[in-house]
């Protein structure tokens, strides 16, 4: 491969010549479509840090988004990669709708292309993702042995049953304390410890959402420190001291705000990460004393109680939802409405652990319903009644997700059940829906939207209706 540098107005670019094509790769910006090769239509997004040079050995993180949104996924990692000095790549062609083997083949082609273009450090290759992308990233090391570690945001390991002690990788999970996957992350930590997989958790105050860049940067920092500990990277005393000082500051801040369980988690992670590099006796003693404090023990006991309570409620939700879907138990929608009122009480609790539990459960029940909708929709013959029940349930568990009201209105109007359609029309508008134009464009509502009742409801909430209401 022949290569040379071009100095352009926007910065330094690398131009690579191969037998069939020429590629110009600019540093410091995300490139959205780097081709695999001329004979394969697949492509990937790429980010090279500004200090990248085509010499030495570079770490790389392959980021996965299962909706093909590679550029958006790389943006979430860009600042961390720039700070920590990592190359990023993300396939434009992996999807949830494809089988795992097909997605693995697509990912492997991207890996080979990146390895052919850049001087990649063979012992510093990682995968990452958010949600379903994180779960796929956690499966890849089982099939591609060169993967050293995984950064999983908002989700745990997808297939724990296929983990092998012959192919261990470093797992770093980043999850919000209000994320419905939080308890799963805690449980998997115990399992990974038992299998002697190196693993760490980074918890933040939030729900099922992308973590801030500093958490992703911390995960990359942990990988770098691990590479130093293994002798795969030259030891950098300044880098080690800076990271350790930041962790100590975070521990002090948690203690100062009475987040003692959080402080203990931070201490445990810091001890694990920095033990190969620094004397940890002082921090170990501080942790020992913290765990003896009455306030810490009370907070820890409270969190454990809430986690146990959460597990029981999850079992109930799973059982009753399965029963209700199988029997089309529309009469039980009132029970689900009561459950949401109870969760709202938890979410407003003065008890932090209970408040976090409530928000996790609210996320869990919505994810559970959406999973069931996907299952019903995937059948060759769609069970319309089951789908109607699940849509109606979503208007109870997530009243601001307007698309489910619209689906109900459209489906019941198609079947000329105008009473149900009008009821959900009014519920939709009560909950703040404002798009009058879209209402009148809704599929299968031609007869419904010319009725006086439809237009009377629209006029009541949106001040104007398309068709006049004629009173007899």
- pLDDT value of residue 40: 79
Give tens-digit pLDDT for 118-144: 999 999 999 999 999 999 999 999 988
Whole-angstrom Cα distance, residue 159 to residue 134? 12
Say which residue the tokens 């090769």 belong to: 37
**pTM reported for the whole predicted model:** 0.88
Helix (H, G, I), strand (E, B) or coil at 369: helix
Whole-angstrom Cα distance, residue 135 to residue 223? 19
Q: Residue 64: which residues within 8 A CB-CB, separation 6 or more?
A: 73, 90, 91, 94, 107, 127, 128, 129, 133, 134, 136, 137
Whole-angstrom Cα distance, residue 152 to residue 155? 6
- pLDDT value of residue 463: 83
Q: Which residues of the chain have pLDDT under 70?
A: 1-23, 466-472
**Residue (of 168, 140, 270, 276) closest to 218 by Cα position:** 270
- pLDDT value of residue 334: 96
Q: Where are the alpha helices (DSSP H) in 379-417?
A: 384-397, 403-414
- pLDDT value of residue 3: 32
- pLDDT value of residue 61: 98
**Residue (of 426, 355, 366) closest to 396 by Cα position:** 366
């Amino acid at each position: 491969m022949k290569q040379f540098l071009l100095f352009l107005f926007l910065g330094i670019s690398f131009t690579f010549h191969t037998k069939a094509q020429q590629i110009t790769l600019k540093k410091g910006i995300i490139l959205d479509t780097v081709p695999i090769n001329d004979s394969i239509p697949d492509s990937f997004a790429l980010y090279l840090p500004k200090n990248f040079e085509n010499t030495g050995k570079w770490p790389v993180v392959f980021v996965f988004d299962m909706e093909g949104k590679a550029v958006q996924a790389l943006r979430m990692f860009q600042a961390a990669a720039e700070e920590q000095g990592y190359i990023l790549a993300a396939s434009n062609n992996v999807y949830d709708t494809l089988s795992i083997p097909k997605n693995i083949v697509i990912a492997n082609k991207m890996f080979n292309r990146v390895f052919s273009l850049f001087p990649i450090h063979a012992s510093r290759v990682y995968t990452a993702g958010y949600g379903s992308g994180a779960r796929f990233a956690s499966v890849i090391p089982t099939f591609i042995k060169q993967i050293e570690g995984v950064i999983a945001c908002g989700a745990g390991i997808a297939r724990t049953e296929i983990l092998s002690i012959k192919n261990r990788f470093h797992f770093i999970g980043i999850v919000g304390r209000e994320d419905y996957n939080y308890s799963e992350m805690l449980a998997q930590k115990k399992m990974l410890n038992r299998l002697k997989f190196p693993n760490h958790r980074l918890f933040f105050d939030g729900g099922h959402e992308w973590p801030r860049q500093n958490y992703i940067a911390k995960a990359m920092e942990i990988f770098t420190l691990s590479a130093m500990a293994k002798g795969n990277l030259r030891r950098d005393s300044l880098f080690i001291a800076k990271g350790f000082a930041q962790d100590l500051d975070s521990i002090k801040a948690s203690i100062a705000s009475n987040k003692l369980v959080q402080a203990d988690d931070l201490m445990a992670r810091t001890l694990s990460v920095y033990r190969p590099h620094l004397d940890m006796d002082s921090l170990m003693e501080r942790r020992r004393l913290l765990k003896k404090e009455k306030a810490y023990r009370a907070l820890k006991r409270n969190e454990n109680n809430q986690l146990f309570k959460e597990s029981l409620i999850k079992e109930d939700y799973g059982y009753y939802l399965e029963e209700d879907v199988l029997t089309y138990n529309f009469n039980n929608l009132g029970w689900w409405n009561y459950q949401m009122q109870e969760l709202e009480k938890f979410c407003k609790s003065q008890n932090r652990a209970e408040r976090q539990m409530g928000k996790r459960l609210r996320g869990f029940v919505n994810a559970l319903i959406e999973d069931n909708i996907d299952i019903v929709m995937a059948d060759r013959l769609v069970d319309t009644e089951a789908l109607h029940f699940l849509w109606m349930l979503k208007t109870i568990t997530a009243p601001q997700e307007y698309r489910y009201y619209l689906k109900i209105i459209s489906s019941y109007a198609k079947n000329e059940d105008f009473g149900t359609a009008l009821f959900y029309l009014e519920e939709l508008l009560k909950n703040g829906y404002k798009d009058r134009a879209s209402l009148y464009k809704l599929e299968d509502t031609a007869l419904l939207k010319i009725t006086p009742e439809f237009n009377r409801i629209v006029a009541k909430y949106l001040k104007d209706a398309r068709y006049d209401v004629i009173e007899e």
